[in-house]
Amino acid sequence: MTTIAVLDYGAGNVRSAVRAAEAAGAEVRLTADHADIEAADGLLVPGVGAFSAVMAGLEGVDALDLIRARHEEGRPLLGICVGLQVFFSQGREHGVETAGIGLWPGEVTALDAPVVPHMGWSDITAAEGSRMFSGIEDEKFYFVHSYAATDHPAGTLVTTARHGSEFIAAVEDGTTWAAQFHPEKSAQAGAALLRNWIASFPDEDRVSDGGRSPDSR
């Protein structure tokens, strides 16, 4: 069975992500143990709240280099909500800048919208050739956020949404995927997305010792 580690760094409401990944057909462990994460086929990085707080939590469990290495090695990685945001190089909240993990260049800033936060179901414009949204391109997804990324990383597939103005709803970069919305709160569409993620795992990652596939990105 496919194994997924949900990174446990003190983020709130992670149990729903665990349950959703289990429902998608994976064996799931909520953990910050590096050996467990290394052995897992996929790593899911949840995130709610402030960009700076999420970065502090990730630093607290020494996860920054672990996430960077997994990305560079081409091993399946999924960021959700602020988990997407911290994959960018910087966040700006209330005038304060916080360095991100830096998988992609770009700054996360306040939504340019008359009503904030953006909370509820929204359409997306799926990137052409998206595997993340295969079969669910016309579905709505559930968003809860006040900040977003708008800089499209070169060489990636970027799916967008609108709330006042356009922002990044999801990024696909080889085996690194990220979603600004919450798949675990997006009913059947979210469940299908998680199944798409698991189906995208390279065969080399479906081994008991967490074997790497560095050329799969």
Q: Are strands 140-145 and 118-123 parallel, antiparallel or unpaired?
A: antiparallel
Please indicate whether residue 204 is annotated as part of the active site. no
Residues 6+ apart with CB under 8 A from 27: 1, 2, 3, 4
Which of 71, 137, 184, 204 is an active site residue? 184
Which of 81, 139, 145, 172 is an active site residue? 81
User: Which two tokens mark 188?
Assistant: 């059947």
Please indicate whether residue 81 is annotated as part of the active site. yes
User: Which two tokens mark 67?
Assistant: 């996430």
Please indicate whether residue 22 is annotated as part of the active site. no
- Report the run of H or E that residue 80 belongs to, with start and end: strand 77-80
User: Which two tokens mark 128?
Assistant: 């052409």
User: Which two tokens mark 122?
Assistant: 């929204």
Which of 71, 118, 163, 182 is an active site residue? 182
SS3 175: coil
Kindly list the catalytic residues.
81, 182, 184
